[in-house]
């Protein structure tokens, strides 16, 4: 996994009145390393239906689709990976329920990282690297220096490391060489999403441009880990 780990947060899209499928299609033009759907507030039936619609779009261009928290949805929708946090279902339980699905795990300290690496997940996420507003109660900022040590440890066992937390196109440059990929949410959104076909087309074009710039910064391209 190398390049951009694009997170599609349905709550953020709804706030800007952005339809999720065209948004994901715009991201896919940039060939990110992976796309994760975050649908914590969505009704389960709607989230699962959206995943089923996104899976063939992602697979058509060999970009893995990741679902947050739910290995059962990964199986039902044909997702490639499931991402879990520290308070979610354990890695060994995910493997028992979905043995053919890749696993990513969020870590926020070197102790958590070392524990996750022992389980050999498909990738680990580490952060927050910078201050972030995507979570109400974020963990302490690790900074580029903390990320560098995490990257060293992950590289020793051959597990890709994704930097998470407060990452923008500007500060991502400081992370080149100390992360395999960077996760982004708000940075991929256009500043505004105005009405009108041409305006929407231009806004989606900006989404693609932002995603492509961050992906190329890290030598991006779609990951084959967990790809269908």
36-90 pLDDT tens trace: 999 988 999 999 999 999 999 999 999 999 999 999 999 999 999 999 999 889 9
Query: How does the average pLDDT of the chain come out, rounded?
Result: 91
**Secondary structure (3-state) at 42:** coil
**Secondary structure (3-state) at 17:** coil
What is the pLDDT, as a whole number, of residue 227? 41
Asked if the structure places residue 223 within a domain, the reply is no
Asked if the structure places residue 26 within a domain, the reply is yes
Asked if the structure places residue 7 within a domain, the reply is yes
Asked if the structure places residue 224 within a domain, the reply is no
Asked if the structure places residue 78 within a domain, the reply is yes
Asked if the structure places residue 222 within a domain, the reply is no
Asked if the structure places residue 48 within a domain, the reply is yes
What is the pLDDT, as a whole number, of residue 198? 57
Total tally of structural domains belonging to the chain: 1
- Residue 180 backbone phi and psi in degrees, to 5: -80, -30
What is the pLDDT, as a whole number, of residue 38? 95
pTM for the full predicted model: 0.92
What is the pLDDT, as a whole number, of residue 226? 43
Residues of the chain with pLDDT under 70: 134-136, 192-198, 220-228
Asked if the structure places residue 60 within a domain, the reply is yes
Domain residues for the domain of 27 are 3-217
What is the pLDDT, as a whole number, of residue 120? 96
Residues in the chain: 228
Task: Yes or no: say if 34 and 191 are a contact pair by the CB < 8 Å rule.
Answer: no
Element at 195 (helix H, strand E): none
- Residue 103 sits in a domain whose CATH number is 3.20.20.70
What is the pLDDT, as a whole number, of residue 203? 87
């Amino acid at each position: 996994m190398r390049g951009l780990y694009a997170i599609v947060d349905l709550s953020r899209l709804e706030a800007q009145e952005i339809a999720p499928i065209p948004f994901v299609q715009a991201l896919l033009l940039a060939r990110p390393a992976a796309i994760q759907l975050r649908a914590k507030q969505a009704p389960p039936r709607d989230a699962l239906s959206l995943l089923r619609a996104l899976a063939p779009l992602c697979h058509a261009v060999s970009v893995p689709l990741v679902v947050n928290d739910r290995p059962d949805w990964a199986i039902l929708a044909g997702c490639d990976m499931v991402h879990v946090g520290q308070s979610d279902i354990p890695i060994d339980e995910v493997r028992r329920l979905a043995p053919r699905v890749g696993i990513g795990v969020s870590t926020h300290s070197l102790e958590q990282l070392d524990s996750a690496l022992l389980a050999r997940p498909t990738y680990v996420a580490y952060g927050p690297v910078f201050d972030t507003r995507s979570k109400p109660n974020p963990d302490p900022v690790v900074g580029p220096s903390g990320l560098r040590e995490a990257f060293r440890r992950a590289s020793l066992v051959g597990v890709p490391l994704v930097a998470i937390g407060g990452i923008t196109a500007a500060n991502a440059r400081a992370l080149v060489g100390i992360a395999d990929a960077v996760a982004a949410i708000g940075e991929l959104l256009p500043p505004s999403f105005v009405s009108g076909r041409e305006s929407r087309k231009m806004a989606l074009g900006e989404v693609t441009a932002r995603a492509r710039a961050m992906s190329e910064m890290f030598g991006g391209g779609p990951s084959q880990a967990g790809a269908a």
